[in-house]
Chain A
Amino acid sequence: MTGKSLFHKIWDAHAVRELPNGQTQLFIGLHLVHEVTSPQAFQMLRERGLRIMHPERTFATVDHIVPTTSQERPFADDMAEAMMQELEKNARDFGITVFHPGSARQGIVHVIGPELGLTQPGMTIACGDSHTSTHGAFGSVAFGIGTSQVRDVLATQCLAMNRLKVRRIEVSGRLAPGVYAKDVILEIIRRLGVKGGIGYAYEYGGEVISRMSMEERMTVCNMSIEGGARCGYVNPDQKTYEYIKGRPYAPQGTAFNRALDYWKSIASDADAPYDDVVEINGSQLEPMVTWGINPGQAISVGERIPKLDSLQAAERETASLALNHMGFTEGDRILGKRIDVAFLGSCTNSRLSDLREAAGIVKGNKVAKGVRAIVVPGSQQVRLAAEKEGLDRIFTDAGFEWRYAGCSMCLGMNPDVLQGRDLCASSSNRNYIGRQGSPTGRTLLMSPAMVVAAALAGAVVDVRELLPTSQLARN
């Protein structure tokens, strides 16, 4: 008998039944809710007189619209305050837990789920946010969904879905100093394309992935959706179990040992078949930077922006639009592009290890004149932990702003936005036109280390030239 992949094991364990249209009614074990994509869903429940089927499996927080300069209520932004109040009202009316601003548990939904131990191997997880794929780092199957599907999960604890195919992405070798999880996923998306993952779940494995910390794995899984894959995951291992142990919502005491049996059982079997396998040599990767208007338009920092005639016909039109929006010329170097803003944050790269790595580069240096640089921790817990280590001082001494937790400048729906044609070095996940709040604003995606290096230089630089010698020695 052939083995099964984690995706199919979890799918089969959560399949309630086949629907008449051939889709699967899939049970969702954990539902995370935020302020922007949920109010309409709660309203639909009210209109139909429905309750939440599993309020104890539903957790809410506020991240997209919250200001990051102050969390004092009422928020200065009336609309943010209104959305916050709506979420609080819905949580009260329907009996679900909210992690409030100021509660020390608030933060970006994809940072706090793992941090609180809510995210565990072998679960199905859904949230009205495409970056829900992040939770796959723990060996769960996690889907971003729309608001009508949020309604479905609230009312039925289920989603109607078509089963996905599974692509195994094997990253071999070892990453060189200055090359990070962000570079790995940007390379994967460059290679497979922003639509290469449509219809697939991505399973990440290989030596590079095995060696990664849980936080690095989250960065990789987070951007699965940027490659078109609705979910991405890593098989759970000892690092996964150790990360979860002792967290507030983790199984406690003897239940933890029993949990291990389940978690180990759902990992992909050695002989699991895959619909596709892709191999990438991680040892050859370099720091990556995007030059265009989607995350697939990336090059390594030393490369030149591609010439249009070197691209396939289907890519040429988007590339041409990208060059026009970015104000770049084909064949240009990305190195040396002057930046206006540096943003370190987002559900992709705002965890403690990201801040530590960045602080190591910032220490004793100054942000370049004319650059607006902000650091936005992914959660209040990350903020507190970073402050305990003195990272906040390293950043503020250098001229970075040190903020409260939220999505901030990743998506331009709170006060943190680009102005005019600002060029932003950003550790976030999307460089779409207008993404960071200014219709003409421009985004360069890169690792946190590359972002702070750019902030210090005032331009895109190769972070490998700034790395502390201690780190170079470590590898």
Chain B
Amino acid sequence: MTPQQIAAVKGRGIVVRGNDVDTDRIIPARYLREITFARMGEYAFYDERFGAQGKVKTHPFNDPRFQGASILVVNENFGCGSSREHAPQALMRWGIQAIVGESFADIFSGNCGMLGVPTIYLAKPDVERLMDFIEAIPGAEIEVDLEKKVVKYGDVEIQARINESMRESLVKGTWDTTSLMLEAKDEIRKTASALPYLTNFVS
């Protein structure tokens, strides 16, 4: 499998406000009861979007103005909690291709990187301005440029931060870590053979 090179993501924005949005909120555990990820997109933010008997609640993911959006904008510590990859899978399968926020939980952003969904950091005031912009002009195009490390919207261009390893992998299309790491079979063997607990502690 050769993953694509992702140098930039362009599309419409969608805003989910609030700090510490955990992965149980992104996808409640009862929707993990499936052996494939195929339907996860339907469950994104399920309990925040639907009440008892499927009653539709007010939520950006239900809002007709934001359907088809591909760039999610969030606040601090997004994706904290459970390591469930179902969370980024749900967002990706709903249509999200990049997430811009103040900060992300470690496991969550690692999982996003594995799926080719970049997590991009902006300072709080920049996130707030971007959120306000998207809510004011829902259809407007946002661009996340991974090569230049900038987020562009309207006539604004803001410098962003992104984990350098993630950026490099996405831009060069080397984010299939399984294939990449299998290239080093001999080195893997060498490392394993030097670990005492794999050699019955005989040095």
Using a CB–CB cutoff of 8 Å, the interface residues on chain A facing chain B are 13-17, 19-23, 25, 27, 29, 36-37, 39-40, 43-44, 48, 50, 53-54, 57, 64-65, 79-80, 82-83, 86, 120, 122-123, 128-130, 132, 144-149, 151-152, 155-158, 160-162, 194-195, 198-199, 225-226, 228, 230, 251, 255, 258-259, 261-262, 294, 314-315, 317-318, 321, 411-413, 430, 432-435, 437, 439
Segment at the interface with A among B131-139, B140-148, B149-157, B173-181: B173-181
B106 adjacent to A17 (CB under 8 Å): no
Rounded to whole angstroms, the CA-CA distance of A15 and B114 in the bound complex is 20
Task: Give the CA-CA distance A262 to B25 in the complex, in Å.
Answer: 43
B107, B165, B192: the one within 8 Å of A144 (CB): B107
Give the chain B neighbours of A79 by CB distance below 8 A: 33-34
Q: Are A433 and B47 in contact (CB under 8 A)?
A: yes
B25 touching A432 by the CB < 8 A rule? yes
Q: Which of A23, A199, A321, A435 contacts B165 (CB 8 A)?
A: A23
B59-91 Cβ-contact flags toward A at 8 Å (1 or 0): 000000000000000001100111111101000
Could you list some 28 contacts between A and B, CB below 8 A? A19-B165, A19-B180, A21-B164, A21-B168, A29-B195, A53-B188, A57-B198, A83-B35, A128-B85, A130-B81, A145-B107, A146-B83, A146-B107, A148-B111, A149-B110, A149-B177, A157-B188, A195-B76, A198-B106, A228-B106, A255-B201, A258-B196, A261-B201, A294-B20, A317-B19, A430-B22, A434-B28, A439-B47
Give the complex CA separation of A255 and B200 in angstroms.
6
Q: Which of A43, A149, A230 has the most CB of B within 10 A?
A: A149
- B103 and A230 within 8 A (CB): no
Given known A228-B106, A230-B107, A411-B29, contact A21–B169 (CB-CB < 8 A): yes
Please give me the residue from chain B that is nearest to A122 by CB atom. Answer: B197
Chain A residues near B166 (CB, 8 Å)?
21
In whole Å, how far is A256's beta carbon from the nearest beta carbon of chain B? 8
Write the nearest CB–CB distance from B7 to chain A, whole angstroms: 15
Q: Check if A149 sits within 8 Å of B111, measured CB to CB.
A: yes
Q: Are B195 and A433 in contact (CB under 8 A)?
A: no
Distance, CA A48 to CA B76, complexed state (A)? 37
- Which residues, 40 to 58 on B, are CB-close (under 8 Å) to A? 47, 51
| B interface list, Cβ under 8 A from A | 1, 18-20, 22, 24-25, 28-30, 32-37, 47, 51, 76-77, 80-86, 88, 103, 105-107, 110-111, 114-115, 163-166, 168-169, 172, 174, 177-178, 180-182, 184, 187-188, 190-192, 194-198, 200-203
Closest 6 CB pairs of A and B: A146-B85, A146-B111, A258-B201, A148-B114, A195-B77, A21-B168
A40→B35 contact, CB < 8 A: yes
- Closest residue on chain A to residue B85 by CB atoms: A146
- With A259-B197, A412-B28 known as contacts, the answer to whether A37 contacts B83 (CB < 8 A) is yes
Instruction: Determine the residue in chain A with the shortest Cβ distance to B25.
Output: A433
Residues of B within 8 A of A123 (CB): 197
> Is B80 a contact of A194 with CB atoms below 8 Å?
yes
Given the interface pairs A15-B191, A228-B106, the reply to whether A156 lies near B182 with Cβ below 8 Å is yes
Known: A22-B168, A148-B114. Contact between A430 and B81, CB under 8 A? yes
